[in-house]
Amino acid sequence: MNGWMKLAAALFAAVSFAGCSLLKVAVATGDPLSKEQMNVRTMTRGFYYDMAGEVARAADSIVAASPDVNVRVAAVRWKIRATRAGVTAAMQGIPDVALADLWILCRRMNEGFAQAPDSLLFGLQSDIARDAALRLDRRAGRLARQVLPDDRYALMERFVTDYVRDNPASEGDETDNTTLAWLEYLRAAGVEQDYATGSIAEVLADVNDRLSGQTQQVTNSVSWSKDIFEMRLRQDSLRLQVGAQLDSLERSFNRIVVVAEHLPEISDKVLEELNRQATQLIWTMNASVDNAFADFDRQRGELQQYVTREREALVEQLRATGDELVRTTLDAVPGLVGKILLYVVLALAVLIGGPFALGFWLGGVRAKARIKNEKLKMKN
């Protein structure tokens, strides 16, 4: 082993002094994504952020315009579900599948909102959501036409139409993982797709995009869930009940004053009625406050469970991506070792075989010269 190390050091020194680049070491980092696939991934994820922003704006417009608390809550829930499904679709590893899933999500929203009556959507403000879903569906189609070749775009357009028709969603804003369905569809069309995992830099950038998108979606979901809780809390009838009881007490007190001035014998009965209404008011306030705090505890528990599930999902995705990165690196090690050994053998052949061949040639030249000189002497 020491002999090999000395030989390698001598070889490196000889190459350095000679100024020749006989040995070039390169670390394999996996097959990078093609320019087309990288363009599809970048544009798809950019479209997701535009989609999330447009859905949020449409939902906020519905909340601002509708006096019905149930419609406002439904709009916020649509915003949460649509952005959650969108980030799940857009942040997938295979660019074509991510684009197809995001297109399917927009198509389902568009068709679902177009078919549903106003009473099942957002009341008088349902057209706001329908217009937004229609624009997103058209934008998804234009994006696919822009980033895909013509033949691949035609295949994806038929795939999205067939998949939405054969797999309808219940509310129009859910998405499925269509990886297997898309690959089988391509294979049935005679297209064999070979997807690269990407270089280490691309894998790390992909992980960063996924974590950033998921974190932003979780943060938005928590904030929007708080808005729903505040709407529900403002809907509580506590203030209305207390106000009605106070108005009733005021009217009863006024009647008591009038009656007491003219009929003192009725005062006791009126006071009993006043005591009964006051007791009922206190009970109503206690029950309403208890219900409000119980609902708050339930909402807090649901929110904590949701955050826990999202955190576990992010950790699992990060673990899977790390394992894939390690496997890619380990797969590249044998090729690197083989290249190094090849270069060492070539260098030894050049350093050892070159001087030997040169000496052999010079010996032949000297022998020929000596024979020639002897012949000249014999002639003389």
Pairwise pLDDT comparison (324 vs 139), residue with the higher score: 139
Cα separation, 327 vs 7, in Å, equals 33
Cα separation, 271 vs 368, in Å, equals 144
Cα separation, 91 vs 38, in Å, equals 13
- Residues comprising the chain, all counted: 380
Segment (H or E) for 237 = none
Kindly state the average pLDDT of the residues 305-316.
Answer: 83
Kindly report which listed range (45-49, 146-150, 312-316) carries the lowest average pLDDT score: 312-316
Kindly state the average pLDDT of the residues 321-345.
Answer: 77
Nearest-5° Cα angle at 149, 145 to 155: 75
pLDDT at 195: 66
Share of the chain above pLDDT 90, in %: 24
Q: What is the 3-class SS of 327-365, one letter each residue?
A: HHHHHHHHHHHHHHHHHHHHHHHHHHHHHHHHHHHHHHH
Q: DSSP 3-state assignment of 253?
A: helix
pLDDT beyond 50 at 27: no
Kindly state the average pLDDT of the residues 226-244.
Answer: 64
User: Residues 6 or more apart from 91 whose CB is under 8 A from it?
Assistant: 45, 48, 98, 209, 210, 213, 214
Q: How confident is the model at residue 21 (pLDDT cuts 50, 70, 90)?
A: very low
Cα separation, 112 vs 174, in Å, equals 11
pLDDT at 243: 57
How many Cβ atoms are within 10 Å of 178's Cβ, its own excluded?
Answer: 23
Taking the whole predicted model, whether its pTM rises above 0.85 is answered as no
Tens digits of per-residue pLDDT, 188-233?
888 877 666 666 777 777 777 777 777 877 887 788 887 777 777 6
pLDDT at 246: 64
- Give the amino acid at 201: A
Pairwise pLDDT comparison (34 vs 25), residue with the higher score: 34
